[in-house]
Chain A
């Protein structure tokens, strides 16, 4: 039982971090960023030296952990900010559909850029190998990484919520998320807030890539995709624009997935995702605005 709880929490952490990254950007510019998954993949590949050989040439991956983690976060943040400056800045007034397709096109460019440099073969890297030890807590044996994932996510969430609530920048960001036009009129500098949101979102993508990299031992150009989709769904059922909702929904989706895997009979287990997505539709039907509806995103009719 306890084991299931930990499994659910660790998977939920990944989804929650992903959902937060998507919700942050959606909050300030109504952009559903489909390039997020590719930022995750890019952050892992930044640890490797470009080569199309089967064997990965580890480059920054050899850094000690206290340098490696900031490095990956910075790469994620950097790429994310760069994508804002080069691409999304030109789409401030475009419709959500246009922005969404532009973000998809950007993700496509990043993915094929990685493919050109590294080939499609997944690369193996040993990221923070010390974390692959089993530990025992309250009778549940789990990989140390699982525990650290949960703890790190909680710490990051607390830090972020303090940041958003207590600092001027956070205040501006929340104001922008609620009513961007009004916030601008009240003197919030739009570019700064949006860049800040992109940087935070990119750093969260970097965090996910460290966890995924350490957990799977693999750098794969498609590695961000599955997490991003779940995160995307979590953002919506959490209530678009609501950061708390995104986190809550991320954990719920992780839990739903783990619980289904645990309780479904073997014949039904391959259909696990169909049940999870079915639940998503149900939630949407009953709460179309999401679990925690953010003010200002409701459709005014």
Chain B
């Protein structure tokens, strides 16, 4: 461990990445507030929620190199925990008669509720991770999928505590953009702080050079567990905010569809970089919105140009394939840094700094 550079200097050299990404998010929020309609505001809230989810996913997947199909399970836990914590007691009696009385009587504001929901998901990530992190490669991926399926089956059938497949309503709806912006920025900084921490550096070392990492005494399951727990908590927070953005939760929202969308955004953006995680969401979401806009019809001169219904998804798939074929490591294989030449210089710097996010290419 002693061979790694001091955390403080790494922090100073890499902080431009989360700062630039946050600035992008802030600009998006300001534009939305200044000019957007209510549906547009809702669209931007969706994007911020996904930024939280994909950034959370990146903390584990990006740093460890192990694909996880299970994180949306923690999102599900976070969303339901938020419902348990923030719904009015009367509605809880209807939807979740099996909850303990103290929890039924409790009604928190959404902020603390979301934080607690994230912690709740993190605790379960720790428990599952203790078992699963012994595995690696594709076996670990499948095990995380099996975990997702277990969580989904339990949440879809445990009537008294999750209301089973019933949509749960009564969750306070939050339609201002700021809490989501704060959540997204927090996720970005958490991911950055983890990446430059001792655990993050060790985890990436284990990803790139497993043999060398083992030889230098890195406890791979342990550093993976740290990332898994942290990322479970972040996607749990994302789940809670997702619940507040729509006001409805149901188990099938948190299953394969969302799993693949979030993974796709991460891989298309760039699986190994924080910039890829954030920008993958922003760019793919904007692409989806653009295609939807075309589908609805755009006036071109006298006539209206509109894509046939359903073509939007097909085009999205095609664009994703083309991007991946052209850039197999994603659109942003290199982090945003400022000033830009700093990044260029780092490529030639010592091997010890190669694994900090800003130089990770």
A105 B320 Cβ-Cβ under 8 A: yes
Give the segment of B32-40, B128-136, B184-192, B235-243 that binds chain A.
B128-136
Known: A101-B320, A104-B260, A233-B142. A299 touches B147 (CB 8 A): no
Most chain B beta-carbon contacts within 10 A, residue among A91, A100, A278: A100
The total number of A-B Cβ pairs within 8 Å is 129
CA A288 – CA B141 in complex, angstroms? Answer: 11
Q: Which of B134, B260, B310, B324 contacts A91 (CB 8 A)?
A: B324
Which parts of B108-152 form the interface with A (CB within 8 Å)? Answer: 131-132, 134-139, 142-143, 145-147, 149-150
Partner of B324, one of A105, A271, A272, A277: A105
In the complex, what distance in Å separates the CA atom of A155 from the CA atom of B308? 45
B residues in contact with A274, CB < 8 Å: 149-150, 153-154
Are A281 and B147 in touch, CB under 8 angstroms? yes
A271 touches B132 (CB 8 A): no
A102 close to B135 (CB less than 8 A) = no
Tell me which of A34, A94, A240, A281 contacts B146 (CB under 8 A).
A281
Contact B268 A113 (CB under 8 A): no
B273 within 8 A of A: no
Q: Interface residue tally of chain B, by bracket? A: 35 or more
- Whether B310 lies near A112 (C-beta < 8 A) is yes
Q: Does B157 contact A (CB under 8 A)?
A: yes
Contact among B153, B268, B311 for A273, CB-based, below 8 A: B153
B44 smallest CB distance to A (angstroms): 24
- B249, CB-defined interface residue at 8 Å: no
- Taking a contact as CB atoms under 8 Å apart, the answer to whether B134 and A285 are in contact is yes
Q: For chain B, residues 280 to 335, give those with C-beta under 8 angstroms from any C-beta of chain A.
A: 308-311, 313-314, 316-318, 320-321, 324-325, 328-329
B47 within 8 A of A: no
Is the beta-carbon distance between B310 and A105 smaller than 8 angstroms?
A: no
Which residues does B use to contact A, with CB under 8 Å? 67, 131-132, 134-139, 142-143, 145-147, 149-150, 153-154, 157, 210-211, 214, 256, 260, 263-264, 267-268, 271, 308-311, 313-314, 316-318, 320-321, 324-325, 328-329
* Contacts A98-B267, A104-B264, A285-B143 known; 16 new A-B pairs at CB < 8 A: A90-B325, A94-B328, A96-B67, A97-B267, A102-B321, A105-B317, A108-B316, A233-B145, A270-B153, A272-B153, A277-B146, A288-B134, A289-B139, A299-B137, A299-B210, A301-B214
